[in-house]
Amino acid sequence: MSNTVPRPLVRANQAVIVLSVALSILTNFYWILLLPITANLSGILFAKNYIILTARPFLKKKPSEYIQEDKSDLRFNQLLATAMLCASLLFWLAGNLALAIVFGAMVFVAASVALSGFCVGCFMRFQFNQWKYRRRLKRSAE
């Protein structure tokens, strides 16, 4: 099993997140968030994101011919997005529309920026790993 995913499939997932968040905020129908929540939760728990699986047949070339994205980065990003989308949905259910919009908007911005080429979650994961590495070096030097 490969440790990578073709970039167009990752982008399809990001596009669905952007559209779902935009529609949920514009229509005030936050149940739409269940689409990316369940897809990404399935990706986290079972390594089967149904948005990615649905988009796979639309690839024009062999999957290996595309730029590849790291599965561990994808999983980390799915975890962040799912947590924030769940928070958005829960705040909406609790009647706190302001916080529902804030959490949804954070995911919307991160996924939109990722579609533009910069992965905020990947950057956060890299910085976190660097921090752990420096901490480990410091402890071993003591």
User: For the segment 16-59, what is each residue's pLDDT rounded down to a tens digit?
Assistant: 999 999 999 999 999 999 999 999 999 999 999 999 999 999 99
- In this prediction, residue 2 carries a pLDDT of 79
CB 49 within 8 A of CB 42: yes
- In this prediction, residue 141 carries a pLDDT of 86
pTM of the model: 0.91
Q: Is the pLDDT at 80 greater than 60, yes or no?
A: yes
Q: Is the pLDDT at 129 greater than 60, yes or no?
A: yes
Evaluate the CA torsion angle 56, 52, 97, 121 in order and state its sign. negative
- In this prediction, residue 82 carries a pLDDT of 98
- In this prediction, residue 142 carries a pLDDT of 78
> Domain span at residue 37?
4-141
Decide: helix, strand or coil at residue 61.
Answer: coil
For the chain, the domain total comes to 1
